[in-house]
Amino acid sequence: MRFHQWLNVSVVLFAAVASLAIAKPACAHVILDLPNGGEDLVVGSTYTVQWHIAIAHNLQNWDLWYSTTGATGPWIPIAMNLPPGSGAVGSVHTYNWVIPNAISNQVRVRVRMDNSGTDYEDISNNNLSIISASTHAVVDLPDGGEVLEVGSIYTIQWHIVVAHDLQNWDLWYSTTGAKGPWIPIATDLPPGSGTVGSVHTYDWEIPDDISNQVRVRVRMDNSGTDYEDISNNNLSIIPAIIECIWDLDGNDTISTTDLLILFGNWGPNPGHPADFNKDGFVNTSDLLILFANWGPCP
């Protein structure tokens, strides 16, 4: 075979292999219905895992696992070799899972259809959470990794997992991790809805308290026992970022070029960047502001 013929054949083979590699996977033969992401499962409680058959096979049994680290596992057995039950398309199968003490917000569940031939499986589409039996309210946001600028507004969000005779809410933050000490954000906030799943929020003005070990805590004040939750990981509070509005040419230095731009837009000019004091005019007041900030941007 000549070189150019070999090259043409190689290109065709490569294209064929590539098309197979990028082809969409076949439709799932078993579908995990519940849990499918977003659920809060309390340690020690019983949750009904549910799945159904999409394509029938010579079904032998079922296997169930969970992961606490997302969809890539590793996988921990829930139950193995469960009876096959009905193998008909659309048939629904369930298993009552007693939630283990494996706290995580990256939980997934996997079901495997064990057949006499090829096995098929499905995984919950999104992460769910296993939470402590003492966690009756859950902090959703912040949950770790956020960078909050001093003076900005951040919306703290939490929701109810177990309902009580709710009286009010308290919010705190710590700059030294999950052990505190804790500094009040707001206390005795109105209870709002006390139903399971209800979402609550508070707009927090970020204090001048620089740290990369910040946590937020919410407490559910009830007529009986109080319950609380803490953001899962550290977040950061950073200094306010000063915008260098006087740098009209964008070179990080207030200099003659910026002065010329200001003079070039002298007079009535509402909305122009050189109108530093926002009075609708580029004039002596703006010129003095420019000189007061002369030099490198802060």
Domains of the chain (ranges; CATH) run: 30-131 (2.70.50.50), 137-238 (2.70.50.50), 253-296 (1.10.1330)
**The 3-state secondary structure of 74-140, one letter per residue:** CCEEEEEEECCCCCCCCCEEEEEEECCCCCEEEEEEEEEEEECCCCEEEECCCCEEEECCCCCEEEE
pTM of the predicted model as reported, rounded to 2 decimal places: 0.58
pLDDT at 2: 54
pLDDT at 34: 96
Residue segments in the chain with a per-residue pLDDT below the cut of 70? 1-27
Helix (H, G, I), strand (E, B) or coil at 287: helix
Q: How far is 17 from 20, CA to CA, in rounded Å?
A: 5
